[in-house]
Structure 1
Amino acid sequence: MNSDILKLSRNTENAPISSVSTQTVAFSHYNNISAQGPVDPKTGEIVAGGVKEQAKQCLANIKAIVGSIDHVMDDVVKINIFLKNISDVDAVDEVYATFFQNYLPTRMIAAVAALPVDDALIQIDAVISNGEGTPSQEPCDLIKIAKNTGNAPKSSVSTHTVAFSHYNNISAQLPIDPESGKLVAGGVKEQTGQCLKNIKAILESIDVPFDDIVKINIFLTSLSDIEAVNEVYTTFLPASAIARTAAYLPARTTVAVSALPMDALVQIDAVVSHGDGTPPQAVEDRHGLVIRANNTENAPKSSLYTQTVAFSHYNHIAAQLPLDPKTGGMVAGGVKEQAGQCLKNINAIVESVNHVMDDVVKINIQLRNIADIDAVNEIYTTFFKNDLPARTTVGVSAILMDALVQIDAVISNGEGTPP
């Protein structure tokens, strides 16, 4: 593996094609799949029916994309489901189970304020394994390892952790006591603590320390709870003397959602480095592997996260608000100016680690008003010269600091991290 690894961007006519994203962007041993709405690719229209029919079409679109690159649905390692109504979870699960017979990927599900496709009730994106790698890697029959532990709440629709190559993806954890199967008593502090305890239990079950987390995603039903969440969060991270000495914190995104399963106040998932890799990678490969965290003065800094965390062949970029790094204040103007500033901040971070925006493989955009999507797209496409990354856009009820937009990203890291 070397810095000449190529990003491979592909579309198929068997799924809806977008002017602002590529359906699948592969790099190294992962494929990133753009969010799929319930649109029939033949007609370009939303499918008739309710949430079951819409969920089936979203998954059929993902299956078509996966099939177009000679993969199968059991190669999916992570699924993110965004609903308009959290009460639709059971109906979605009924359809969902028909697409995964042999195993269940990790999963996140939440209700959001709005979706980009008018009248859509659901939107789904995915990450899939890519054993063959991308040129100039040699194909390798890497094995996906899916595990559950009795020390965290089990689900009939997801697996706790799915490892492939040098990453582990952890299912979103609700504040459920694994012994009782119920939400923990108390408020958002207690719930946050339980989510993080569940993640820690999952990591301990596979002999991975908490400081191997490279990216954390926090889903909150009320952003006014963020200070309480942060108070608990900082008791878990940094989690070791070495990490505290280095002041290491993972990249992070906080998303305001309309509702969560079981009426929870918070839900948290994580992406974790996996130094030992998966067979047939040699176990000794894990020794000396480095997580490389970096901040730059040219983008807003935070005491709660690192701007970019690289491990193996990916960089994870923390969510960027439309803040001027020089003043720390919100940029003047409307959503165009704010989207431009978010992307400028990402660009500054990407350049600080000797990369370019065309190395981005996945972008996630949260908008306070989904009607602003056209204005954002007008700015968005000016930041990329070549193939557009995979993308997920959702409408949210609120964004930190009353921003109109927030953007995070995943970028390719051809040079990898030592050794």
Structure 2
Amino acid sequence: MSDTIIKVSRNTDSAPKSSLSTQTVAFSHYNNISAQLPVRPDTKEVVANDIKAQATQCLDNIKAIVESIDHTMNDVIKINIFLKNIADLEAVDKIYAAFFQGYLPTRTVVAVAALPMDDALVQMDAIISNGEGTHPQEPCDLVKVESNTDNAPNNPASTQTVAFSHYNNISAQLPIDPKTDAIVAGGIKEQMQQCLTNIKAILESIDVPFDDIVKINISLINLSDIDTVNEVYSTFFPDSAIARTVGYVPARTVTVASGLPMDALVQVDAVVSHGDGTPPQEIEDRHGIVIKANNTDNAPKSSLSTQTVAFSHYNHLSAQLPIDAKTGETVAGDVKAQAEQCLKNIKAIVESIDHVMDDIVKVTIQLKDIKDIDAINEVYKTFFNSDLPARTVIGVSAIPMDALVQIDAVLSNAEGTPPAV
């Protein structure tokens, strides 16, 4: 019998199915859940044009998937909420907390330009803990560790950081001064500084170095602000002498949002390696796990991000634009040609670390025009040979380099990182 950890892909009739994604893909100690639209599984139609009803349906679908694999909503580590109108967040929050008991997961909320179904006002995806692991791992009663600090803004709808096994997920940080609970004065520079300062404060509160971040997600309102964002970003990374020596920066995705909570110009969330693990992992089993960052010349490189960062049993990939690595330019052609280039770049990165595309557990696709999804799907399926990953698709008003599409991915990493766990 092989001792290679196996990816487990599952669907239930109790939630909407898709021929282009798997509802939940488990690997090791996490499950990745595809974005759920407010669609009833029996009628396959969007529920009434009411934000509360639609948010309830999204969460009902997530709950059905979670329960179909013998988990509960309290196993949810992270929720991403994509709204057509950021003003609807208040209504969503009125029903949101009722789905959890005594605990709220980390959370990111953005308004986007479009969702895959015209009548949808909201879409949600999720990550859940998976203490039983996947074959041949033995079930382990790992403990989820939630934490908040007064040195960063507290939100009644989310927990600042939730650790499980060897990862922490950090809630999206707005540019809020925790002393005043207000957006900081100034423009995009000051707001970006505050977002990253808040993340740093959260990590310091749990004794985790800033350079343990493996993936950063930046949502900003104006793509024209990206140069200023990058200037600030470069003052935070690399943070430590060791990271500066090797030039380490995390994987990264930039999303242009149509709206953010509190009318912010930018927000930032993060995925963080957690070498200490969570109880009952023993001290001798949980020290010294190494972050492995990798770039290949066969995909576009950036001084601001690493193409793929592996830690323990996952790799996090930076968002890939439709750039030809040889020319550094966006490929010629329509959205189909651009999607193919994005996926070729992902494939080149995946193969450079001795993996295959079917090791991918989650894909997120950003489209300049949501109507291009059919063309994207024609290309998309050809890159996989077995069960398709979990997937999220959103429409955005702009993409870096004036691209029509951008794609990022999370990859299973059965070999782990030294010392393998």
Structure 1 residue 3: deviation in Å? 6.3
Quote how far apart the aligned CAs of 1:58 are. 0.1
Give per-residue Cα distances to partners, 1:314-353, cap 9 Å, x unaligned: 0000000000000001111000000000000000000000
- Please name the residue that 1:350 is paired with: 350
Return the alpha-carbon distance in structure 2 between the equivalents of residues 159 and 284 of structure 1: 29
Matched, 1:107 2:107: yes
* Counterparts of 2:296 and 2:375, CA distance in 1: 28
Give the letter for the 2:391 counterpart: R
Asked if 1:312 is matched to 2:312, the reply is yes
2:163 aligned with 1:166, yes or no? no
* 3-12 vs 129-138, greater mean Cα deviation: 3-12
TM-aligned CA deviation for residue 102 of structure 1 = 1.7
CA shift digits 1:14-34 (9 cap, x unpaired): 000001000000000000000
Classify the secondary structure of the residue corresponding to 1:320. Answer: coil
Distance in 2 (CA, whole Å) between partners of 1:329 and 1:400 is 12
The 5 A counterparts of 1:202-221 are 202-221=202-221
- Name the residue aligned to 2:407: 407
Contact 1:3 1:414 in 2 (8 A): no
Q: Are 2:37 and 2:58, in contact at CA under 8 Å, matched by a contact in 1?
A: yes
Partner of 2:10: 10
Aligned residue number for residue 246 of structure 2: 246
Aligned 8 A contact 2:3 2:136 in 1: no
Deviation, 1:97, is 1.0
- Deviation (angstroms), 1:122: 0.1
Q: Is the 8 A contact 2:49 2:119 kept in 1?
A: no
3-state SS, counterpart of residue 319 of structure 1: coil
Q: What's 2:88 paired with?
A: 88
Counterparts of 2:49 and 2:318, CA distance in 1 = 37
Separation (CA, whole Å) in 1 of partners of 2:218 and 2:283: 32
Whether the aligned pair in 1 keeps the contact of 2:307 and 2:318 (CA below 8 Å) is yes
The alignment partner of 1:244 has SS state of helix
Aligned to 1:365: 365
1:264, 1:118 → 2: CA distance? 26
Looking at structure 2, the residues matched to 96 and 203 of structure 1 have their Cα atoms a distance apart, in angstroms, of 26
User: Gaps (5+ residues) in structure 1?
Assistant: none
Q: Which runs of 4+ in 1 moved over 4 A?
A: none
**Counterpart residue type for residue 162 of structure 2:** V
Match of 1:176 in 2: 176
Aligned letter for 2:179? E
Determine the C-alpha separation between the residues in 1 that align with 2:20 and 2:333.
Answer: 23
Rounded to whole Å, the distance in 2 between the matches of 1:225 and 1:48 is 37
TM-score (norm 2): 0.99
The question of whether the paired residues in 2 share the 8 Å contact of 1:364 and 1:408 is answered with yes
The residue type paired with residue 369 of structure 2 is N
CA distance in structure 2 between the partners assigned to 1:171 and 1:76 by the alignment: 13
Partner of 2:130: 130
SS of equivalent to 1:60: helix
Q: How far apart in 1 are the matches of 2:40 and 2:306?
A: 40
Q: How far apart are residue 397 of structure 1 and its match?
A: 0.3
Report the Cα distance in structure 1 between the residues aligned to 2:327 and 2:49, rounded to whole angstroms.
50
Cross-structure match for 1:19: 19
- Number of residue equivalences: 418
- What is the Cα deviation at residue 282 of structure 1? 1.0
Q: Superposition pairs for residues 44-123 of structure 1, below 5 Å?
A: 44-123=44-123
- TM alignment of 1:290-329, pairs within 5 A: 290-329=290-329
| Counterpart amino acid of residue 402 in structure 1 | D
Shift, 1:285, TM fit: 2.9
Task: State how far apart, in whole Å, the 2-side matches of 1:204 and 1:263 are.
Answer: 27
Quote the Cα distance in structure 1 between the aligned partners of 2:284 and 2:114. Answer: 46
What does the per-residue CA deviation read over 1:126-164, in whole Å, with 9 as the maximum and x for residues that have no partner? 000000000010010110000000100000000000000
Deviation digits for residues 386-409 of structure 1 (CA, Å, limit 9, x no counterpart): 000000000000000000000000
1:109–1:3: structure 2 CA closer, same or farther, 3 Å change rule?
Answer: farther
Indicate how the Cα distance of structure 1 residues 14 and 202 shifts in structure 2: closer, same or farther if over 3 A, else same: same
Q: Residue type of the partner of 1:277?
A: G
| Counterpart residue number, 1:289 | 289
Instruction: Please state how far the C-alpha of 1:48 moved relative to its aligned partner.
Output: 1.5
Say which SS state the counterpart of residue 70 (structure 1) adopts: coil
SS, match of residue 254 in structure 1: strand
Bigger Cα displacement from structure 2, 21-30 vs 97-106:
97-106
Q: Using the aligned pairs only, state the percent identity.
A: 74
Amino acid at match of 1:317: L
CA distance in 2, matches of 1:49, 1:221: 26
**Which amino acid in structure 2 is aligned with residue 250 of structure 1?**
P
Q: In structure 1, the residue corresponding to 2:252 is in which secondary structure?
A: strand
Contact 1:216 1:250 in 2 (8 A): yes
| 2:275 corresponding residue in structure 1 | 275
Matched, 1:255 2:255: yes
Check the 8 A contact 1:368/1:399 in 2, yes or no: yes
Letter in 1 for 2:147: K
Structure-1 residue corresponding to 2:154: 154
Give 3-state SS (helix, strand or coil) of 1:391's partner: strand
Conserved 8 A contact 1:300-1:323: yes
Q: Deviations over 1:62-89 (max 9, x none)?
A: 0000000000000000000000000001
| Gap regions ≥5 residues in structure 2 | none
Instruction: Check the 8 A contact 1:3/1:416 in 2, yes or no.
Output: no
- Give 1:49 shift: 3.9
Partner residue of 2:382? 382
Q: Is the 8 A contact 1:276 1:284 kept in 2?
A: no
Q: 1:200-252, CA deviations, whole angstroms, 9 ceiling, x for partnerless residues?
A: 00000000000000000000001100000000000000001100001100000
- 1:118 to partner: Cα distance: 1.8
8 Å contact kept, 2:331–2:337:
yes
SS in structure 2 opposite 1:297?
Answer: coil
Which residue is equivalent to 2:32?
32
Please say if residues 86 and 261 of structure 1, whose CA atoms lie closer than 8 Å, have aligned partners that are also in contact.
yes
Q: Aligned partners of 1:274, 1:165: CA distance in 2, in Å?
A: 7
**Deviations, residues 98-135 of structure 1 (Å, cap 9, x unaligned):** 10122000000010000001210000000000000000
TM-score, with structure 1 as normaliser: 0.99
On the 8 A contact 1:7/1:26 being kept in 2, the answer is yes
